[in-house]
Chains A and B, each alone.
Chain A
Amino acid sequence: MRNVEQTTQEVLELAAKHFQVPAGSLAADDDFFKKLGINSLQALELLSRLENHFGIELPDYEVQGVSDFRTLASRIQTRL
Protein backbone atom coordinates (compact mmCIF):
# COMPACT_ATOMS: atom_id res chain seq x y z
CA MET A 1 0.00 0.00 0.00
CA ARG A 2 1.38 3.36 -1.03
CA ASN A 3 1.64 6.17 1.51
CA VAL A 4 0.56 9.67 0.56
CA GLU A 5 4.13 10.79 -0.13
CA GLN A 6 4.59 7.98 -2.65
CA THR A 7 1.25 8.77 -4.23
CA THR A 8 2.17 12.44 -4.50
CA GLN A 9 5.46 11.57 -6.17
CA GLU A 10 3.72 9.32 -8.69
CA VAL A 11 1.17 12.05 -9.45
CA LEU A 12 3.99 14.51 -10.11
CA GLU A 13 5.80 12.06 -12.37
CA LEU A 14 2.65 11.19 -14.31
CA ALA A 15 1.71 14.84 -14.79
CA ALA A 16 5.20 15.73 -15.98
CA LYS A 17 5.18 12.86 -18.44
CA HIS A 18 1.65 13.53 -19.69
CA PHE A 19 2.20 17.23 -20.25
CA GLN A 20 5.76 16.71 -21.46
CA VAL A 21 7.56 18.93 -18.97
CA PRO A 22 10.92 18.02 -17.42
CA ALA A 23 10.76 15.45 -14.64
CA GLY A 24 11.40 17.23 -11.36
CA SER A 25 10.06 20.56 -12.62
CA LEU A 26 6.79 20.13 -10.70
CA ALA A 27 6.39 20.44 -6.93
CA ALA A 28 3.66 19.10 -4.66
CA ASP A 29 2.29 22.52 -3.78
CA ASP A 30 2.26 23.86 -7.36
CA ASP A 31 -1.04 25.07 -8.77
CA PHE A 32 -1.20 22.72 -11.75
CA PHE A 33 -3.49 24.97 -13.76
CA LYS A 34 -1.04 27.85 -13.53
CA LYS A 35 2.16 25.83 -13.60
CA LEU A 36 1.16 23.73 -16.59
CA GLY A 37 -1.13 26.29 -18.23
CA ILE A 38 -3.83 23.67 -18.74
CA ASN A 39 -7.56 24.04 -19.31
CA SER A 40 -10.46 21.98 -18.00
CA LEU A 41 -10.31 19.44 -20.82
CA GLN A 42 -6.62 18.84 -20.19
CA ALA A 43 -7.39 18.45 -16.49
CA LEU A 44 -9.81 15.68 -17.42
CA GLU A 45 -7.06 14.01 -19.45
CA LEU A 46 -4.88 14.05 -16.34
CA LEU A 47 -7.76 12.61 -14.31
CA SER A 48 -8.09 9.71 -16.76
CA ARG A 49 -4.33 9.17 -16.68
CA LEU A 50 -4.35 9.06 -12.88
CA GLU A 51 -7.38 6.76 -12.68
CA ASN A 52 -5.80 4.33 -15.13
CA HIS A 53 -2.45 4.38 -13.33
CA PHE A 54 -3.84 3.90 -9.82
CA GLY A 55 -6.72 1.63 -10.89
CA ILE A 56 -9.32 3.80 -9.16
CA GLU A 57 -12.35 5.94 -9.94
CA LEU A 58 -12.07 9.52 -8.76
CA PRO A 59 -15.36 11.37 -9.34
CA ASP A 60 -14.95 14.82 -10.85
CA TYR A 61 -16.78 16.43 -7.96
CA GLU A 62 -14.12 15.21 -5.55
CA VAL A 63 -11.43 17.14 -7.43
CA GLN A 64 -13.47 20.23 -8.19
CA GLY A 65 -11.71 23.17 -6.60
CA VAL A 66 -8.50 21.18 -6.22
CA SER A 67 -5.60 22.87 -7.96
CA ASP A 68 -2.43 21.58 -6.28
CA PHE A 69 -0.79 18.20 -6.64
CA ARG A 70 -0.60 17.52 -2.92
CA THR A 71 -4.35 17.82 -2.40
CA LEU A 72 -5.01 15.87 -5.58
CA ALA A 73 -2.79 13.08 -4.28
CA SER A 74 -4.62 13.06 -0.96
CA ARG A 75 -7.94 12.62 -2.80
CA ILE A 76 -6.45 9.70 -4.70
CA GLN A 77 -5.12 8.23 -1.47
CA THR A 78 -8.67 7.95 -0.09
CA ARG A 79 -9.59 5.72 -3.03
CA LEU A 80 -6.61 3.35 -2.96
Chain B
Amino acid sequence: MKSFTGETLRWEWNEGVVHLTLDREPANEIGTAMLVELEKFVGAFDALAAETSVCIISSAKKHGFSAGADLRELYNGAASLSGGERVAGVRKFLERIHAVLNAIDAAPFVTIAAVHGICFGGGLELALACDIIIADKMARFAFPELRLGLIPGFGGIPRLKRDLGNAFVRDLLFTGRSVNATRAQAVGLVSQLAAEGEAVNVARSNAGQIKKFDAVARVAAKKFIKPIPHEELRREIDIFCDLFTRPAVMAALKKFVESTDAMPYLP
Protein backbone atom coordinates (compact mmCIF):
# COMPACT_ATOMS: atom_id res chain seq x y z
CA MET B 1 0.00 0.00 0.00
CA LYS B 2 1.75 3.14 -1.20
CA SER B 3 -0.56 5.60 0.43
CA PHE B 4 -2.99 5.59 3.31
CA THR B 5 -4.97 8.14 5.24
CA GLY B 6 -6.33 7.11 8.61
CA GLU B 7 -7.75 8.78 11.69
CA THR B 8 -4.40 9.37 13.39
CA LEU B 9 -1.78 9.22 10.65
CA ARG B 10 -1.19 9.02 6.94
CA TRP B 11 1.58 7.93 4.63
CA GLU B 12 2.48 8.38 1.02
CA TRP B 13 5.27 7.02 -1.17
CA ASN B 14 7.15 9.11 -3.68
CA GLU B 15 10.29 8.20 -5.61
CA GLY B 16 11.74 5.78 -3.10
CA VAL B 17 10.73 7.69 0.03
CA VAL B 18 7.72 6.83 2.19
CA HIS B 19 6.63 9.68 4.43
CA LEU B 20 4.59 8.84 7.54
CA THR B 21 2.83 11.84 9.09
CA LEU B 22 1.40 11.58 12.61
CA ASP B 23 -1.78 13.62 12.82
CA ARG B 24 -3.86 13.14 15.93
CA GLU B 25 -5.23 15.88 18.21
CA PRO B 26 -3.98 17.32 20.42
CA ALA B 27 -0.33 16.23 20.30
CA ASN B 28 -0.14 12.77 18.67
CA GLU B 29 -0.75 10.84 21.89
CA ILE B 30 -0.20 7.16 21.13
CA GLY B 31 -3.27 5.14 22.04
CA THR B 32 -5.12 2.22 20.51
CA ALA B 33 -6.28 4.08 17.40
CA MET B 34 -2.75 5.15 16.48
CA LEU B 35 -1.39 1.71 17.39
CA VAL B 36 -3.80 0.03 14.95
CA GLU B 37 -2.73 2.37 12.16
CA LEU B 38 0.96 1.97 12.98
CA GLU B 39 0.42 -1.80 12.72
CA LYS B 40 -1.08 -1.23 9.29
CA PHE B 41 1.96 0.86 8.36
CA VAL B 42 4.56 -1.72 9.37
CA GLY B 43 2.38 -4.36 7.73
CA ALA B 44 3.07 -2.58 4.44
CA PHE B 45 6.86 -2.80 4.83
CA ASP B 46 7.30 -6.01 2.85
CA ALA B 47 5.46 -4.55 -0.12
CA LEU B 48 7.35 -1.24 0.13
CA ALA B 49 10.82 -2.71 0.70
CA ALA B 50 11.84 -3.41 -2.88
CA GLU B 51 11.40 0.16 -4.06
CA THR B 52 11.89 2.17 -0.87
CA SER B 53 15.18 3.60 0.38
CA VAL B 54 14.02 5.94 3.12
CA CYS B 55 11.12 6.42 5.51
CA ILE B 56 10.56 9.84 7.07
CA ILE B 57 8.37 10.10 10.16
CA SER B 58 7.10 13.52 11.17
CA SER B 59 4.15 15.26 12.77
CA ALA B 60 1.44 17.51 11.38
CA LYS B 61 0.68 18.87 14.81
CA LYS B 62 1.87 22.32 15.84
CA HIS B 63 2.96 21.39 19.35
CA GLY B 64 5.38 18.72 18.27
CA PHE B 65 6.27 15.21 17.24
CA SER B 66 4.36 13.38 19.98
CA ALA B 67 3.50 13.93 23.65
CA GLY B 68 3.82 10.17 24.21
CA ALA B 69 1.39 7.49 25.31
CA ASP B 70 -2.26 8.39 25.61
CA LEU B 71 -2.44 8.57 29.39
CA ARG B 72 -6.13 9.38 29.40
CA GLU B 73 -6.92 6.23 27.46
CA LEU B 74 -4.57 4.25 29.67
CA TYR B 75 -6.24 5.48 32.85
CA ASN B 76 -9.83 5.26 31.62
CA GLY B 77 -9.25 1.77 30.23
CA ALA B 78 -7.66 0.53 33.43
CA ALA B 79 -9.83 2.26 36.02
CA SER B 80 -12.80 -0.07 35.67
CA LEU B 81 -10.76 -3.27 35.66
CA SER B 82 -9.51 -5.48 38.47
CA GLY B 83 -5.77 -5.60 39.15
CA GLY B 84 -5.14 -8.74 37.11
CA GLU B 85 -7.23 -7.63 34.15
CA ARG B 86 -5.59 -4.22 34.28
CA VAL B 87 -2.08 -5.62 33.96
CA ALA B 88 -3.15 -8.07 31.25
CA GLY B 89 -4.58 -5.23 29.19
CA VAL B 90 -1.46 -3.11 29.58
CA ARG B 91 0.80 -6.04 28.73
CA LYS B 92 -1.18 -6.74 25.55
CA PHE B 93 -0.88 -3.11 24.46
CA LEU B 94 2.87 -3.08 25.21
CA GLU B 95 3.43 -6.31 23.28
CA ARG B 96 1.72 -4.79 20.25
CA ILE B 97 3.55 -1.44 20.36
CA HIS B 98 6.86 -3.25 20.87
CA ALA B 99 6.17 -5.33 17.75
CA VAL B 100 5.54 -2.13 15.79
CA LEU B 101 8.66 -0.38 17.09
CA ASN B 102 10.81 -3.45 16.54
CA ALA B 103 9.59 -3.51 12.93
CA ILE B 104 10.47 0.17 12.48
CA ASP B 105 13.82 -0.42 14.19
CA ALA B 106 14.66 -3.21 11.72
CA ALA B 107 12.95 -1.68 8.68
CA PRO B 108 14.59 -2.64 5.38
CA PHE B 109 15.15 1.02 4.58
CA VAL B 110 16.65 3.98 6.43
CA THR B 111 14.23 5.58 8.89
CA ILE B 112 14.45 9.27 9.79
CA ALA B 113 12.47 10.94 12.57
CA ALA B 114 11.99 14.61 11.65
CA VAL B 115 11.17 16.16 15.01
CA HIS B 116 9.79 19.51 16.04
CA GLY B 117 8.35 20.65 19.37
CA ILE B 118 7.78 18.09 22.09
CA CYS B 119 9.08 14.56 21.73
CA PHE B 120 8.19 13.04 25.09
CA GLY B 121 7.84 9.54 26.49
CA GLY B 122 6.35 7.24 23.86
CA GLY B 123 7.03 9.87 21.21
CA LEU B 124 10.73 9.77 22.03
CA GLU B 125 10.56 5.98 21.99
CA LEU B 126 9.15 6.08 18.46
CA ALA B 127 11.92 8.45 17.39
CA LEU B 128 14.52 6.20 19.03
CA ALA B 129 13.39 3.28 16.88
CA CYS B 130 14.45 5.30 13.83
CA ASP B 131 17.97 5.29 12.41
CA ILE B 132 18.45 9.05 12.37
CA ILE B 133 16.82 11.86 14.35
CA ILE B 134 16.73 15.30 12.79
CA ALA B 135 15.37 18.00 15.06
CA ASP B 136 14.43 21.59 14.59
CA LYS B 137 15.82 24.04 17.12
CA MET B 138 12.60 24.21 19.13
CA ALA B 139 12.40 20.45 19.74
CA ARG B 140 12.46 19.08 23.30
CA PHE B 141 13.02 15.51 24.48
CA ALA B 142 12.02 13.89 27.77
CA PHE B 143 11.17 10.70 29.62
CA PRO B 144 8.70 11.99 32.25
CA GLU B 145 7.39 8.51 33.20
CA LEU B 146 8.95 8.38 36.68
CA ARG B 147 6.64 11.17 37.83
CA LEU B 148 3.82 8.66 37.36
CA GLY B 149 5.70 5.90 39.19
CA LEU B 150 6.47 4.10 35.94
CA ILE B 151 9.36 3.60 33.56
CA PRO B 152 9.16 4.17 29.80
CA GLY B 153 7.30 1.18 28.37
CA PHE B 154 7.74 1.39 24.59
CA GLY B 155 11.39 0.33 24.52
CA GLY B 156 12.91 3.67 25.40
CA ILE B 157 15.48 2.64 27.98
CA PRO B 158 17.08 -0.23 26.02
CA ARG B 159 17.19 1.80 22.80
CA LEU B 160 18.56 4.96 24.38
CA LYS B 161 21.13 2.85 26.23
CA ARG B 162 22.03 1.09 22.98
CA ASP B 163 22.57 4.35 21.14
CA LEU B 164 24.02 6.65 23.82
CA GLY B 165 24.92 4.72 26.96
CA ASN B 166 23.54 4.64 30.46
CA ALA B 167 24.64 8.03 31.78
CA PHE B 168 22.26 10.05 29.63
CA VAL B 169 19.46 7.52 30.25
CA ARG B 170 19.85 8.08 33.98
CA ASP B 171 19.90 11.86 33.56
CA LEU B 172 16.62 11.87 31.62
CA LEU B 173 14.95 9.24 33.79
CA PHE B 174 15.88 10.39 37.26
CA THR B 175 15.37 14.11 36.73
CA GLY B 176 12.42 13.80 34.35
CA ARG B 177 13.70 16.98 32.74
CA SER B 178 13.25 17.83 29.10
CA VAL B 179 16.32 18.72 27.08
CA ASN B 180 16.43 21.04 24.12
CA ALA B 181 17.61 20.14 20.63
CA THR B 182 21.05 21.62 21.10
CA ARG B 183 21.68 19.48 24.17
CA ALA B 184 20.19 16.44 22.44
CA GLN B 185 22.60 16.91 19.57
CA ALA B 186 25.53 17.40 21.94
CA VAL B 187 24.90 14.01 23.57
CA GLY B 188 24.38 12.28 20.21
CA LEU B 189 20.64 11.71 20.36
CA VAL B 190 20.00 14.12 17.49
CA SER B 191 22.07 13.70 14.35
CA GLN B 192 21.37 17.02 12.70
CA LEU B 193 19.77 20.32 13.70
CA ALA B 194 17.38 22.16 11.43
CA ALA B 195 16.00 25.68 11.56
CA GLU B 196 12.51 26.07 12.95
CA GLY B 197 10.00 24.33 10.73
CA GLU B 198 12.69 22.85 8.49
CA ALA B 199 13.19 19.36 9.96
CA VAL B 200 11.20 17.63 7.21
CA ASN B 201 13.05 19.51 4.48
CA VAL B 202 16.38 18.54 6.01
CA ALA B 203 15.16 14.94 6.24
CA ARG B 204 14.24 15.03 2.55
CA SER B 205 17.70 16.33 1.73
CA ASN B 206 19.19 13.40 3.66
CA ALA B 207 16.89 11.01 1.82
CA GLY B 208 18.16 12.31 -1.49
CA GLN B 209 21.69 11.39 -0.49
CA ILE B 210 20.80 8.03 1.11
CA LYS B 211 18.99 6.91 -2.05
CA LYS B 212 22.24 7.04 -4.00
CA PHE B 213 23.79 4.13 -2.11
CA ASP B 214 23.55 0.42 -2.76
CA ALA B 215 20.51 -1.09 -1.04
CA VAL B 216 22.11 -4.46 -0.21
CA ALA B 217 25.07 -2.80 1.52
CA ARG B 218 22.74 -0.45 3.37
CA VAL B 219 20.65 -3.31 4.75
CA ALA B 220 23.76 -5.27 5.74
CA ALA B 221 25.23 -2.23 7.51
CA LYS B 222 22.04 -1.63 9.41
CA LYS B 223 21.82 -5.23 10.64
CA PHE B 224 25.44 -5.04 11.72
CA ILE B 225 25.38 -1.77 13.64
CA LYS B 226 21.83 -1.66 15.01
CA PRO B 227 21.02 -4.89 16.83
CA ILE B 228 17.65 -4.90 18.58
CA PRO B 229 18.09 -5.44 22.37
CA HIS B 230 15.34 -8.07 22.55
CA GLU B 231 16.17 -9.39 26.02
CA GLU B 232 16.16 -5.94 27.63
CA LEU B 233 12.98 -5.01 25.78
CA ARG B 234 11.26 -8.07 27.28
CA ARG B 235 12.49 -7.15 30.74
CA GLU B 236 11.24 -3.61 30.26
CA ILE B 237 7.70 -4.90 29.65
CA ASP B 238 7.90 -7.07 32.78
CA ILE B 239 9.15 -4.20 34.96
CA PHE B 240 6.53 -1.83 33.57
CA CYS B 241 3.76 -4.34 34.32
CA ASP B 242 5.08 -4.96 37.83
CA LEU B 243 5.12 -1.23 38.54
CA PHE B 244 1.67 -0.81 37.02
CA THR B 245 0.09 -3.07 39.66
CA ARG B 246 0.76 -0.51 42.39
CA PRO B 247 -2.16 1.68 43.52
CA ALA B 248 0.19 4.65 43.52
CA VAL B 249 0.43 4.46 39.74
CA MET B 250 -3.33 4.60 39.22
CA ALA B 251 -3.47 7.47 41.68
CA ALA B 252 -0.78 9.34 39.75
CA LEU B 253 -2.53 8.68 36.43
CA LYS B 254 -5.82 9.87 37.91
CA LYS B 255 -4.16 13.03 39.13
CA PHE B 256 -2.65 13.63 35.70
CA VAL B 257 -5.90 12.98 33.84
CA GLU B 258 -7.94 15.17 36.16
CA SER B 259 -5.30 17.85 36.55
CA THR B 260 -6.20 21.46 36.05
CA ASP B 261 -2.56 22.43 36.63
CA ALA B 262 -1.40 24.80 33.97
CA MET B 263 1.70 22.70 33.38
CA PRO B 264 0.74 18.99 33.55
CA TYR B 265 3.38 18.04 31.00
CA LEU B 266 6.21 19.50 33.01
CA PRO B 267 7.95 16.99 35.24
User: Which residues of A approach B to under 8 Å, CB–CB?
Assistant: 33, 39-45, 47-49, 51-52, 57, 59-61, 63-64, 67
Q: Taking CB as reference atom, which chain B residue is nearest A60?
A: B266
* Complex contact A52–B178 (CB within 8 A): no
- Best-surrounded residue of A43, A48, A59, A61 (most CB of chain B within 10 A): A48
Q: A61 to B265, alpha carbons, bound, how many Å?
A: 11
B199 to chain A, nearest CB (A): 14
Q: What residues on A are CB-neighbors of B178 within 8 Å? A: 44, 47, 60
A–B complex contacts, Cβ < 8 Å, 11 sampled: A33-B262, A41-B67, A41-B265, A44-B266, A45-B63, A48-B137, A51-B180, A52-B137, A52-B138, A57-B179, A59-B177
* Complex contact A64–B263 (CB within 8 A): yes
Q: A43 to B64, alpha carbons, bound, how many Å?
A: 13
* Complex contact A39–B64 (CB within 8 A): no
Which residue of the partner chain, among B67, B117, B182, B262, contacts A45 with CB atoms under 8 Å?
A: B117
Q: Mark B131-143, 1 if CB is under 8 A from A, else 0.
A: 0000001111010
Counting contact residues on chain B (CB < 8 A from A), the size range is 20 to 34
Sorted from nearest, which 9 A-B pairs have the closest CB atoms? A40-B263, A59-B177, A40-B265, A41-B63, A33-B262, A48-B138, A60-B266, A51-B180, A60-B177
B191 at the interface (CB under 8 A from A): no
B264 at the interface (CB under 8 A from A): yes
* Complex contact B138–A49 (CB within 8 A): yes
Q: A69 to B37, alpha carbons, bound, how many Å?
A: 42
Q: What residues on B are CB-neighbors of A42 within 8 Å? A: 63
* Complex contact A59–B263 (CB within 8 A): no
Given contacts A49-B138, A59-B175, A61-B175, contact A40 B117 (CB under 8 A): no
Q: Taking CB as reference atom, which chain B residue is nearest A31?
A: B262
Given contacts A41-B64, A44-B118, contact A57 B262 (CB under 8 A): no
